[in-house]
Amino acid sequence: MDMIPLFHNKHIVLGVCGGIAAYKTADLASKLTQAGALVDCILTESATKFIGPVTFAAVTGRAALTDADLWRTDAHVPHVQLGESADLTIIAPATANTLAKLAHGQADNMLSVVALAARCPIILVPAMDGGMWSNAATQANVETLRQRGFNVCGPAMGRMASGLVGAGRMEEPADILGFARVVLGKRSAFSGQKIVVTAGGTHEAIDPVRFIGNRSSGKQGFAIAQAAIDRGADVTLIVGASALPTPFGVTRINVESAQQMCEAVLAASREADALVMAAAVADFQAASQADQKIKKTKDTVDLEVKLVRTPDILQAVKEQREKTSGPRVTIGFAAETQNLLANATSKLHSKGLDLIIANDVSASDAGFAVDTNRVTLLDAGGGVEPLPIMSKAQVAEHVLNRLAALLK
Ligand code: CTP
């Protein structure tokens, strides 16, 4: 897993309570550590019946604490300091018992003491079996905690350890990580900014079962949406064809054709601070769509499909910007197989962009469907910034750094 700038050197307290899902928390601890965080795990007495502190120490590279550490004498109340200095606290699984303790301000074990002393945001990831989640006492405790500003992630619906099916499963580590990005990101520079991102390719229908599409996977656009969430933005992601999961906290709008994407982009970007057009929009659509599936006969040897232009979305946005003020900043992409910089510069000016990200989609390590990209950033002031090959997540960070400057 890539390092995530948002987590780099952040102090995270990861509380683990006694539930069968505790084994999955080791994976979460590992993911947070790989993302760059300094993760201090605290296990309750009952958590240690399911999984040992050694596992957490091994994946985080830091001591994992248990209740025995509450009575250590080697430091000045170490647990209080831990709670006070953390950037984020996550309790996963949060059992009904720990939720009850937190709701009532009890502090009778290492984890509840640290949680009570914490000044950072706290994420609770409930997990419990049977009717414990729906029990009125648990629901009332969770409601109290929500009102006090605790962030509650889940629980998910599904099969629980007892075989019962319902709400009570712990959210998966990848989803908890996504949730943590939203909570931690809220304190960052883009807080309150509305950013619209497009991703994936459009599909232009020929008949009810066929379409013209392209090789775009949506990876670069999704990476930009995730990076904007990490910086606290309010993100709308308009997606053509892409099988990628929606980053936590993103408002996703699915569209199919260039025409539909155009309508969605104009509506969403009217009041937005920025639009980033990473989608691979088809330039041509079938002049007419057959109502029924086009059939071949014995004598059919060729088939002509007449194509006509689709709307140029960025041109339409340019016209909208001239009439209204939104979006304040527009960023486009240029997918080229030749004359990269000349073609990108001409698109930058003709589409009225503030910045264009030029990429050579014929290279095997850049462009469509791969995880890496090699791009050059060209701005309206004539600046040219070539970037080395890097992950699409890193490209997204560069783009957002430039966007931050443009929004100032
Ligand atoms: N784009 C758009 N509407 C279209 C086609 C493209 O808004 N109908 C946007 C893309 O999302 C991208 C930028 O315009 O941000 C450039 O897209 P690209 O496919 O590189 O260029 P085109 O404008 O389609 O020009 P050409 O196909 O001639 O290279």
Residue 313 Cα to ligand 1 midpoint, Å, equals 8
Would you say residue 51 has pLDDT above 80? yes
* pLDDT, position 161: 82
Half-sphere exposure of 257 (CA within 13 A, CB side): 15
* CB 47 less than 6 A from any atom of ligand 1: no
Nearest-CA residue for atom 21 of ligand 1? 334
CB burial of residue 100 (10 Å; 0-12, 13-18, 19+):
middle
Residue 285 Cα to ligand 1 midpoint, Å, equals 14
CA 140 vs. chain centroid, Å, equals 30
* pLDDT, position 299: 86
Would you say residue 78 has pLDDT above 70? no
How far apart are the C-alpha atoms of 69 and 88, rounded to whole Å? 21
The full set of domains in the chain, from first to last, is 5-185 (3.40.50.1950), 194-407 (3.40.50.10300)
How far apart are the C-alpha atoms of 123 and 91, rounded to whole Å? 6
Mean pLDDT of the chain: 94
Strand partners, 376: 358, 386
- Vertex 69: Cα angle to 68 and 75 (nearest 5): 145
The values of phi and psi at residue 178, to 5°, are -60, -45
Q: Residue 362: pLDDT band by 50, 70, 90 thresholds?
A: confident
Q: Residue 300: pLDDT band by 50, 70, 90 thresholds?
A: confident
* CB 347 less than 6 A from any atom of ligand 1: yes
* pLDDT, position 271: 93
How far apart are the C-alpha atoms of 193 and 388, rounded to whole Å? 29
How far apart are the C-alpha atoms of 2 and 393, rounded to whole Å? 8
Task: Give 51's DSSP letter.
Answer: S
Nearest-CA residue for atom 6 of ligand 1? 281
Q: In what order do the strands lie in the sheet with 234-239?
A: 251-254, 234-239, 194-199, 274-277, 329-336, 355-360, 375-379, 384-386
89 compared with 303, residue with greater pLDDT: 89
How far apart are the C-alpha atoms of 93 and 28, rounded to whole Å? 11
Task: Give 55's DSSP letter.
Answer: H
The values of phi and psi at residue 264, to 5°, are -65, -40
Quick: pLDDT tens for 370-407: 888 899 999 999 999 999 999 999 999 999 999 999 99
Nearest-CA residue for atom 24 of ligand 1? 283
- Annotated catalytic residues are 214
* CB 281 less than 6 A from any atom of ligand 1: yes
Quick: pLDDT tens for 236-269: 999 999 999 999 999 999 999 999 999 999 999 9
* CB 261 less than 6 A from any atom of ligand 1: no
* pLDDT, position 360: 85
Q: Which stretch of 82-86, 121-125, 227-231 has the lowest confidence by average pLDDT?
A: 82-86
How far apart are the C-alpha atoms of 38 and 306, rounded to whole Å? 59
